[in-house]
Amino acid sequence: GGGPDGGSLSGDGEAFGDRSLSQGLSVLVGLALCVTMLGLGCAVELGQLGHQLRRPVGLLLALLAQFVAMPLLAFLLALIFALDEVAAVAVLLCGCCPGGNLSNLMSVLVDGDMNLSIIMTASSTLLALFLMPLCLWIYSRHWINTALVRLLPLGAVSLTLGSTLLPIGLGVLIRYRHPRAADLLVKISLWSLLVTLVILFILTGTMLGPDLLAHIPASVYAIAVLMPLAGYALGYGLATVFKMPPHCRRTVSLETGCQNVQLCTAILKLTFPPELIGGMYMFPLLYALFQSAEAGLFVLVYKMYGRDSYKQDTLGEEEDTDISYKKLKEEEVADTSYGTVTTEEHNSIQMEPTQTAL
């Protein structure tokens, strides 16, 4: 219940009572999640995993960004905007999700560290098996006196998370055996992200009817706008604390703000009662809309103002390399003689050894 001033997302949930539409939507969400996780697995190389295990910076950043910063941010926003338990659970669930594939695409566009991006996404997805239910349990205590939170299906959430291991493992195997096929599947998964979101918006809007906007309170829109934006800022600050170079800071920023909305929608659709899913289902879709728009603005600003400095830094590194190479060549030319020839009296020739600098 609750109107636009109350912060509820549960309105019009009965629209999802149509069994055929609900089942079709569940199938679509499940397939989209499988394709996304398969693409994530295809982007992971075993050699990169071994390197990260030796120097687990990406793993640590994924842990701090996705399971410390984002859940706390979601919890604070839910308190600040005084959301009811239905809206709060939707926001918390989105905040506790691991990183999404959108960050990998955006990292390419801002000249980020792709290895770091992929490792952070994969690490947060695996860590979510244990930490996502834990974070949900911890932060939902504030609403523990409500029926929804007391019946929060943490077991079903864990089961849904566990089901993602199969497509991820299959993707890693495809990358190991057939790299070209893996590259194609990664592209397909990225395109499926866009197509799936568009279809979900259309279907959800159709099922909820023309009064959809009236039943979504302004506080939900505000959180959907602020949460990814704050996530990007928190990620950049976190990378700055770790004294990472600029291209890695941009990568961590995108990895923090971009959530796996396919996983969030799948959990909402597959684990909660149909009478509640109507309104709750809209928050991850709104989050996906605004996280994409804000990431697009991030890329646009970088292309307009940050690209030149990136090129100058790269050029400076190349110039330093050329100067060092020239000096090395000069030293090699000066030091290749093992002795000099001198002419003394009586037409005698003598070899004088000279010290060669190494």
Q: What separation in angstroms does the CA of 113 have from each of 120, 328, 345?
A: 11, 31, 69
pLDDT recorded at residue 144: 81
CB 259 within 8 A of CB 291: yes
CA distance 68 to 83: 21
Tell me the pLDDT tens digit for each residue of 74-126.
999 999 999 988 889 899 999 999 988 788 888 888 988 888 888 888 889 88
What's the first-to-final CA gap in the chain, in angstroms? Answer: 81
Q: Which residue has the higher pLDDT, 13 or 103?
A: 103
Beta-carbon-side half-sphere exposure of residue 179 (alpha carbons within 13 Å): 2
Tell me the pLDDT tens digit for each residue of 303-342.
888 765 655 555 444 444 343 334 444 444 444 444 444 4
What is the residue whose two structure tokens read 């949930």? 13
CB 170 within 8 A of CB 39: no
| DSSP label at residue 342 | E
What φ, ψ does residue 281 adopt, rounded to 5°?
-65, -20
Position 204 confidence tier, pLDDT thresholds 50, 70, 90: low
Q: Which residue has the higher pLDDT, 36 or 278?
A: 36
Looking at every residue in the chain, the average pLDDT score rounds to: 77
Rg (C-alpha) for the chain, rounded Å, is: 27
Q: At what angle do helices 114-139 and 246-257 cross, to 10 degrees?
A: 40
Q: Give percent above pLDDT 90 in the chain.
A: 23
What is the residue whose two structure tokens read 């993602």? 164
Domain spanning 28-316, CATH class: mainly alpha
Q: Which of 157-171, 262-276, 299-313 has the lowest mean pLDDT?
A: 299-313
Q: With a cut of 70, say whether residue 182 has pLDDT above it.
A: yes
Position 54 confidence tier, pLDDT thresholds 50, 70, 90: confident
CB 48 within 8 A of CB 113: no
Position 157 confidence tier, pLDDT thresholds 50, 70, 90: confident
Average pLDDT of 134-153?
84
Ordered by start, the domain boundaries in the chain are 28-316
3-state secondary structure of 265: helix
Average pLDDT of 173-189?
87
Token readout for 100 is 């999404």
Average pLDDT of 130-141?
92
